[in-house]
Structure 1
Amino acid sequence: MKRIGILGGVSAESTVLYYRTITREVVRRTGRADYPEIIIYSVSFGDFARLQHAGEWDLITARMVAVFQALHRAGAQLGLIAANTLHAVFPEVARRSPIPLLSIVEATAREAKRLGLERVGLLGTRFTMEGDFYRRGMGEVGIEVIVPDPGEREEIHRIIYQELARGLIREDSRARFIGIAEKLIRKGAQGIILGCTELPLLIPKDSLDVAILNTAEIHALAALEAALGD
């Protein structure tokens, strides 16, 4: 069984979701607590958030590579970034990482394809919704991505950084997110990508009438499968 290395802390809330998903799935499958070994390198959310808003993506990339070098030295055999936004620079980080990395976008695209989806709505930070990495990843499997209107994107971005990343769950924000998702469904979305790993805290699986793609869960389970493989 391979040892998993997680770049976490972006945010702490989603890092907990990853760890819990992996360990609970092992118990569900086997009835035993035979978890894979997991090493978590928790970075400063505040530092990374400031760098993102300053557009310092080269520095972000360098810091992420340094994290995976440290995880490699600690014995990790495969790695994952427990955040969607940081996948904006995934190709370069993966190229420079000393251990293989699992992409949250690729894992989510595989799941969307498995579900037979052709058009999906994407919710996440402004960087994720306005970036092209999800459009590229989904496009490679023939799936179209649609996003909320500009004003809605700003509102979503604010709630993620000012509330969810701090562990704050507000019912008015939950209702607003669900309303925005329902608007995307009316525009033809057959599924909604929770393209921020904190969003499962706000949008339960049964809150919409279409498939909800919980990227944190999908990514964590993909890591477990990779750890269990040869």
Structure 2
Amino acid sequence: MDLLVGISWVSTSDYYKLINLGINERLGGLNFSECLVYSFNYADIKNNNDNNDWDSTFNMLFEGCKFLKSGGAEAIVLCANTMHFIADKLEGAIGLPIIHIASETAAVIQKQKIKKAGLLGTKFTMELNFFKDKLTAKGIEIIIPKNQEDRDFIHTTIFEELGRGIVSKETKKRYLEITNQLIEEGAEGVILGCTEIPLVIKPEDVSIPVFDTTLIHSKAAIDFQLS
């Protein structure tokens, strides 16, 4: 298994831990994941985001993919929700399957027969269609926070707090208020559509199912590796 990481280091450690624990749980003994890891400087990604420079981000990720492919990669795990904006283009360019985080999330939600889910993530993930389209294709209606101020708050705290491993009581409180508003609007489940959001929202915090995309994506990577 081959991981494109560093977006951010916080989620990188989660992916590495979850995948290795999952492999060991299934195989036992001292069996863990054989993998290559290519890690980016998060500041470079953030700078590209601020300038809406997806071409530079694509070139960065493509170079990372080439490195992994040269090391024998059979599939790539892109360890960030937002970066899946260019996942399909990247997959076509590198000629390797990219295990798509939104597709795997859609499959899990569909199994639970949930028809309407709230989505939290960066503004790219919430407002663009690359993530939502994978779910609506499975008959799942997606709602996001209606208030632009709420979406801005989530986006900013992902980069300025959660991406640095910082969690405050005030930020958690606001996230839960936003989530509860989605529940009032009919959400039957909530998608933690950023790999850092599980730092502030836990399954026991809300009254509906929570879909942790980091966990879902990691399990899909384990399934692929053991297949």
If the length of structure 1 is used for normalisation, what is the TM-score? Answer: 0.95
- The structural deviation recorded for 1:220 is 0.8
Match of 2:97 in 1: 100
Question: For 2:210 and 2:112, how far apart are their aligned partners in 1?
Answer: 11
Contact 1:8/1:81, CA 8 A, preserved across alignment: yes
Contact 1:191/1:210, CA 8 A, preserved across alignment: yes
Partner of 2:176, secondary structure, is helix
Q: Aligned pair 1:204/2:202, yes or no?
A: yes
Question: For 2:2 and 2:28, how far apart are their aligned partners in 1?
Answer: 24
Cα offsets for 1:163-194 (capped at 9, x unmatched):
00011111111111111111101100011000
Name which of 67, 86, 91 aligns with 1:89. 86
Partner of 1:7, secondary structure, is strand
Q: Percent identity?
A: 32
Match of 2:135 in 1: 138
Worse-matched range after superposition: 23-32 or 203-212? 23-32
- Structure 1 runs not aligned, ≥5 long: none
Contact 1:26/1:35, CA 8 A, preserved across alignment: yes
Match of 2:77 in 1: 80
Question: For 1:26 and 1:80, how far apart are their aligned partners in 2?
Answer: 15
What is the letter of the counterpart of residue 178 of structure 1? L
Name which of 108, 112, 121 aligns with 1:124. 121
**Matched residues, number:** 226
C-alpha root-mean-square deviation of aligned residues, in Å? 1.1
Partner of 1:102, secondary structure, is coil
Contact 1:39/1:71, CA 8 A, preserved across alignment: yes
Cα offsets for 1:11-68 (capped at 9, x unmatched):
0000111111111122333433312201111101000011011011122112111111
Question: For 2:86 and 2:177, how far apart are their aligned partners in 1?
Answer: 30
Q: Aligned pair 1:213/2:216, yes or no?
A: no
Where do residues 30-179 of structure 1 align in structure 2 (5 Å cutoff)? Answer: 30-148=27-145, 149-179=147-177
Contact 2:84/2:131, CA 8 A, preserved across alignment: no
Q: Aligned pair 1:194/2:192, yes or no?
A: yes
Moved over 4 A (4+): none
- The structural deviation recorded for 1:98 is 3.5
Question: For 2:114 and 2:12, how far apart are their aligned partners in 1?
Answer: 28
Question: For 1:132 and 1:11, how far apart are their aligned partners in 2?
Answer: 22
Q: Aligned pair 1:183/2:181, yes or no?
A: yes
Contact 1:26/1:33, CA 8 A, preserved across alignment: no
What is the letter of the counterpart of residue 21 of structure 2? R
Contact 1:94/1:101, CA 8 A, preserved across alignment: yes
Worse-matched range after superposition: 97-106 or 149-158? 97-106
Question: For 1:49 and 1:33, how far apart are their aligned partners in 2?
Answer: 37
Question: For 1:126 and 1:71, how far apart are their aligned partners in 2?
Answer: 29
